[in-house]
Amino acid sequence: MRCRKCGASAVFNMRHHKLALCATHYPEWFVRQTSRAIDKYKMFTPDEHILVAVSGGKDSLALWDVLLQLGYHADGLYIDLGIHGDRNYSAHSREKALTFAEGHPEARLVIVDIPERYGESIAEVAQRKRGGERPCSVCGLVKRHEMNRIALEGGYDVLATGHNLDDEAAVLFGNVLHWQSGYLVRQGPVLPADGEGLARKVKPFCRFYERETAAYTLIQGIDYIYEECPFAEGATSLKHKAILTQMDHDAPGTKLHFYLNFLRAKEEGLFCELEEDRALLHPCESCGQPTTAPHLCAFCRLWRAHDAH
């Protein structure tokens, strides 16, 4: 297989784009496509300060790398969740984020250590609150809260995450299976800021297949954590990803069309927010972040119970 640009031996082939590229032209294509997505969805401008949520995985490190290459002012945020497992997952992923940051002195890496700051790891708080149930929902809640907190406290204009097309298509698939109209309305490459205290969130990689971000990190020599979070095993979203990947294998481009046609349909008004879905937000009495709960937000309720023990 030959590179379409220069005719050299290709290292990566994208059947859905009918495009094979070499080790020089693939990263160039990848960076250019990211830039186009940022412009198309009006994610941010060159003057704005970006906080990139970095997990130590391929997507977030690739995103941070590309944004810096494009000349954006982008700092990283790593949240240490205190996940151990057989391979000391958090320590290992934190090390990857730190190594990347060391190689990019122009950017800053903010680290939030959850057990250190709040007294319990994700698994411990999930055990106490939900009796050992899979801690993924607690993890999501903690990450969302902390990402928003750091973005606001640090004066960042926007929070960028490394969600890729496979992530977005799997979420869309799950939301469609259950006709979660409220979630469908809010799913997209940009979640606008809310004057009440929610930072703008963007997903510049939402049109890249997971395989494309992995290929970029490998070609660029970015060291990332290969292992999965030990709690991810058996997760529904992974099952949905597998189904969609099989469909894409049989008909290349299925995932991309599924997601892009959803965005188009949304733009044309297929989904609209119902009055009853429009949550009334007010500041949490403890942390000040927006919540629909009467007094404390769900995040503060997690730790308040811990304080009382």
Partner 1 sequence: MHVTYRNKTWEFDETMFVQQLLKRLDLLPESVLVVRNGTLVTEDQRLLPEDEVKIVAVVSGG
Q: Does 222 bind partner 1 (CB under 8 A)?
A: no
Q: Does 117 bind partner 1 (CB under 8 A)?
A: no
Among 190, 219, 222, 287, binds partner 1 (CB under 8 A): 219
Q: Does 223 bind partner 1 (CB under 8 A)?
A: no
In the complex, least distance from residue 204 CB atom to partner 1, rounded to whole angstroms: 17
Q: Does 167 bind partner 1 (CB under 8 A)?
A: yes
Q: 276 exposed, middle or buried (CB, 10 Å; 0-12, 13-18, 19+)?
A: exposed
187, HSE (Cβ side, Cα atoms, 13 Å): 29
Residue with tokens 């189904």: 243
Q: Give the helix, strand, coil percentages of the chain, each rounded to 5.
A: 50, 15, 40
Gap between the Cα atoms of 102 and 160, Å rounded:
20
In the complex, least distance from residue 228 CB atom to partner 1, rounded to whole angstroms: 6
Virtual CA dihedral for 142, 186, 173, 252, nearest 10 degrees?
-110
Q: Does 246 bind partner 1 (CB under 8 A)?
A: yes
Segment near partner 1 (CB under 8 A), from 72-80, 91-99, 149-157, 211-219? 211-219
- What are the structure tokens assigned to 223, written together? 């060291």
User: 237: which residues sit within 8 A by CB, 6+ positions away?
Assistant: 167, 170, 171, 174
Among 98, 111, 152, 218, binds partner 1 (CB under 8 A): 218
Q: Does 204 bind partner 1 (CB under 8 A)?
A: no
In the complex, least distance from residue 170 CB atom to partner 1, rounded to whole angstroms: 8
Residue numbers at the binding site for partner 1 (CB under 8 A):
1, 10-13, 20, 23, 57-59, 136, 166-167, 170, 209-211, 214-215, 218-219, 226, 228-229, 231-233, 235, 237-238, 241-242, 245-246, 248-249
